Structures are given as structure tokens and as C-alpha cells.
Amino acid sequence: MIKLSGFDLETLKTKYQNKQGINVFVNNIDLTHNPELNKITLSIRVANGLFEEDKKTKTVTEESKINVGFTINKEIELNEEWQQIFLNQKLSNNIFYSIKDSNIYNVDFTKLKADDFMLYSNIKDATYRVVSYTPTNFRNGVLKLQAKINDKTYDFDKKVGVGNYSNPFNEEFVQRNVNAYNFLIDTLTTADVSKVNESVYNIFSTNLLSGGYDTTRAIYTDKNDVPDSLHLGEDYLTAAFTPVVAPYDGEVIGIFYINYSEAEKNSAEGVGTSLMMRVKKSALNLTPAEYEKYFQIKDDNVGDDWMYIGFIHLDGQRTISQELGYTPKDVTVNKRNVVIAENLDPAHPKAVKKGDTIAFLGSPDTNGGWMPHVHITVYNNQSKHYNENNFFEMQKTRESRVNQYDATKADNTTKSPFNIRVDGVQSIFRGKGNPNQAYQVNPITGEAIETSKIDTSTNKTTKEKTPDGFITWIPLPISNYEKRNGLVDPNVLFKIRGQESFAFNLEALFELQEKQYN
């Protein structure tokens, strides 16, 4: 039992009943802060939030847009019974590992041996020995370990690898190309698009590259080298016409593409063919912590709600084909010729099994003018977005939009396939004048500092911003769009890329190549 002193919680709740909320909860159990086996650290969050009023009914809701909180870290000494309960977790959590010459994302765990793991620990005077190693799949394995601490010997298992995962491509293909490096193109411009080609696969000895989620790029806006567009999904680069598979059992609810003119096809501005599928959240097989963090599910009741996965830059003719069970149909939407999969919409979905081919990657003349790749955006489809204080803000669900799509009325603007459009990038508009000009700002507020200037011809005073160099980067926090659009990092599901992944910068590569040949 933990008692918080200094305030009467019940009195506060009564005093601000129906106006404010007070949340007190354990938000973390830290098993590594205290190396002693008989101690753990609890992180207790205390928060106060102002409830919102419903604009229509004028009643107070439980939604809170304004709230504050603080964390109390409390060291707990465990009795004998609780020591035994936490023992294996403490032992496992206090031993860390790295993989020789690699990392958990760029290695095939079926090819590793026990001596490929290097161990270290927070527990002083502890010695460890790897008894054996057993791979469970190409992404994970189990180490059997023996620890000697204070003359006591402990045998325990430690899971190693990325954890539960799925794939948007055939499992064998991803396993063959497990060294799918993270490619960085933040400062590439539209003029560099043609340089991004299949030669990079030979350089890095892989046929699969991954990257993009929560990165800012300059490549989407003409005559601009400032990263001012936030990428809202993950790009997986591989050969044209590579099959894309259903990562889980689910339903395809719509496929469409715009019939671009010849001039538009290679403009590096289009998205090619788009496909939207939905999956039961229970099918994701995530950990409780992952469900809570990324899908806003606060208890063990995952339920049968849908989440959504969108794919773009696909090949239209190969995807909307009899081979995959679809018939193409031409419709006109906003004076544009659009091809849809006939009789396919949220009310008439096509059931698919994990591993079924659902699409094919496009080529530059069918995918919008880009190097062949698939862009994947994931949506949690939750109506509430919780923050670190355990208060929530309401948000529109993805299905409130996609369910408006009706393939039988696709030429109707409100029922069109654009309701299943997949989010690609979010660009910031910087107004007229020199778009790259930076200005002096107030260091506290961040607002531009303006100086007064008198126009001698009119004797009027105007205010101008004070120039201060040029913009090199624009902050566009992904958290804004995770809250507003319900976005989820695709790497949470597929784990082809992670923070430890090997990475390379394409602009630096091009500069090296230019020096080599000049």
C-alpha cells in the first residue's frame, strides 16, 4: 500500500466535482533502476485536468484539453513473496545485450549463435553465462542464461529480438533482405528524384529499404531544399511489381487510382493506386503495453474494433485485376477519371487471410513518378486520444470517413473513393516572398520580432520582420497527427526498421558518387 501525503484526494475530488478531474495512477514499474533484486521503483503520476463542456448540451464531459501533472518515483522494498514473483523479471530486465556487428532489426536470428551475443548488466558483482541459444523465428530467439549474484546461482530465460511482428511482403522475401537499411532523404529535392534508382540495392547488398515515418523532407515541394513536409507513413523500397501481402487476416474495403495524363505520370507528385484494408485489433497480437501506447486501449479488453492500414504507390492494372478477384470500373470524380475496384467498399469488403497477395508495387509510370516502393500508413481508429496524464481528447475515427465510400455511387463527391484516401505527407505553407528566409524571434514566445518602419511617401508606419539567415529545418511534430488522425508508426507492426537499424543518407551517397566520377 502506498500513501500519498500532503493533500486530501477525496476532498479535492468533491470540491471540483463535475468541473475538474484528478487522476492518480502507476504509469511505470521500473525493474532496472534498482539493481538489487529485492527492490523496484514505481512511477506514480498525479494529474489535474479541466473538463470540457459539450457545446450542444452545455453539460460537462470527461474530455480534458487542459491538464497538468507530475511524477513521483517511489522505491519499494519487496518482501520474500514478492521477490519470488518479480525474480525472473528482475533478472531478465537487468541484463542487456548487443549483437556482434549488427542489431536486432538487421540480422537473421536463425543464423545467430550463442557467442554472437554480448551481455552487460546493471547489477554489480554479477557474472553471467550463456547456457544456450534457440531461435524462435528469423526475428526472435531465446537465451538460456545463468547468473551468479552474491554466491547464489540463478537460471532464467531472456527473450531477444523484436517481439511480435508481421510483414507487408512475403516472409521469405523479408528474411532474405533482413538488412533493410533505413534510407534518409530529408534534404533531397525534386531534382534528385531521378537519381534514386535500383543502383542503391547493389551498393547495400539488399533488395529492400525502409524509412520515412516521422521524418521531414524537402522532396515534395518544387524549388525547395528545406525539409518542410512531414512524412506520415513508412516507405518500403523494392522492385516494381513486387507482391504486397495482407499482414493480418482482415478485409480489403476499397482500391482506386486516378487516370493521370502522360505529363502527370512521371511528375513525382502522384500516389498511383491506393488500397485500404481493415483488421480487427485483436488480430495484431501486440503486448498490453503496445495496445495501450499506440491504440489507446487502457485495459485488456481489445474487443472486435477495426483498425486500418492504407497502401499507396501500387500498380493499378495488376492490383485491380481478375487475378486478385477485382474488376476495374471507370468513374468520374471532380472531373477526373478514376478507376475503382467494382463492388468493393466498406459495405461489401473482400475477406483476406494473412499472407494473401493483395496488391503489387507500381513502376514510376504507374505509381506517381517515384522509385518503386509502397507507402504504408496505419490508423488506430480510436475516438479518444489519451495523454501522459490519462486524460483524453476526442478525435474523429478513421471509419467515420472511410465508411462514407460507396462503390455504387463513386461519382458522388461525398461517396467517392477519396474517402479511403491514404495520408501521405503534411506540408507547411510558408507564404509569399522568399520561402527560405528565417527571421529573428522572441526566445521565450518563439514569435517573430517586428520592427517599425516609416514610409516617407505616406508617413505611415508599418512593421517588418527582421531577417536572420535562412531556414534549414521546420519542426512538424508527428504527435499532432497521431492525435488528430490516429496515426500509428508502421514499425510498431512490421518492425522491419527500428531505432537501432543501420542507416544511410542518400544525399551523402550522391555526393560521394559525384566526387568519385569527377
* Model pLDDT for residues 454-473, shown as the tens digit of each residue: 877 777 877 788 777 777 77
Give the span between the Cα atoms of 3 and 500, in whole angstroms. Answer: 40
Residues 142 and 261 in one domain: no
**In terms of Cα–Cα distance, which of 306, 468, 477 is closest to 382?**
306
What is the span of the domain harbouring residue 55?
9-83
User: Of 161, 189, 214, which residue is a domain's last?
Assistant: 161
198 and 305 co-located in one domain: yes
- Does 191 lie in the same domain as 150? no
Kindly report the pTM of this predicted structure: 0.90
Closest CA to 449 of 430, 431, 469, 465: 465
Residues in Cβ contact with 445 at an 8 Å cutoff, skipping those fewer than 6 apart: none
DSSP state of 53: B
Residues of the chain with pLDDT under 50: 1
- 327 part of a folded domain: yes
Query: Do 393 and 257 share a structural domain?
Result: yes
pLDDT (0 to 100) of residue 451: 82
Q: What is the predicted pLDDT for the residue at 456?
A: 76
pLDDT at 433 (0 to 100)? 60
Decide if 41 is inside a domain.
Answer: yes
Please give the sequence-ordered ranges of beta strands (E in DSSP) within 138-284, or none if there are none: 140-149, 152-161, 182-184, 209-211, 216-217, 229-231, 234-237, 243-245, 250-258, 273-280
C-alpha cell at position 176: 532474405
Would you say residue 4 lies in a domain?
Answer: no
What secondary structure letter does DSSP report for 423? P
Q: What is the pLDDT of residue 432?
A: 60
Please tell me the predicted confidence (pLDDT) of residue 267. 59
The neighbouring-strand residues paired with 99 are 117
Cα–Cα distance measured from residue 79 to residue 76, given in angstroms and rounded to the nearest whole number: 10
d(CA 440, CA 339): 49
Q: Does residue 204 sit in the same domain as residue 113?
A: no
**Which residue reads 549463435 in cell numbers?**
113
Predicted pLDDT at 444: 85
In a domain, 166, yes or no: no
42 plus 113 within the same structural domain: no
Q: Which three cell numbers stand for residue 132?
A: 544456450
**Vertex 485: Cα angle to 481 and 491 (nearest 5):** 70
Strands (E), 389-499: 392-394, 425-427, 437-439, 450-455, 460-465, 467-470, 487-488
Cβ atoms of 238 and 169 closer than 8 Å: yes
387 plus 418 within the same structural domain: yes
Residue 110 DSSP class: G
Nearest CA-CA partner of 276 in 352, 338, 210: 352
Query: Domain ends where: 62, 83, 104?
Result: 83
| SS3 state of residue 130 | strand
The pLDDT assigned to 366 comes to 85
Instruction: For residue 1, tell me if it sits in a domain.
Output: no
Q: What is the pLDDT of residue 195?
A: 78
Residue-level pLDDT at 332: 94
Query: Is residue 445 domain-shared with residue 482, that is, in the same domain?
Result: no
Last residue of a domain, one of 49, 83, 117: 83
Q: Are residues 109 and 258 in the same domain?
A: no
Strands (E), 268-366: 273-280, 306-314, 328-333, 336-341, 350-352, 357-360
Domain count, the chain: 4
Residues 138 and 28 in one domain: no
Residues 155 and 176 reside in one and the same domain: no
Query: Comparing C-alpha atoms, which of 236, 140, 230, 255 is closest to residue 182?
Result: 236
Are residues 201 and 334 both part of a single domain? Answer: yes
pLDDT at 192: 79
In a domain, 27, yes or no: yes
Q: Does residue 2 fall inside a structural domain?
A: no
Q: Check: CB of residue 419 under 8 Å from CB of residue 411.
A: no
Residue identified by cell 543502383 is 199
C-alpha count within 13 angstroms, C-beta hemisphere, residue 229 = 21
390 in any annotated domain: yes
Spatial separation of the C-alpha atoms in residues 360 and 496, rounded to whole Å: 19
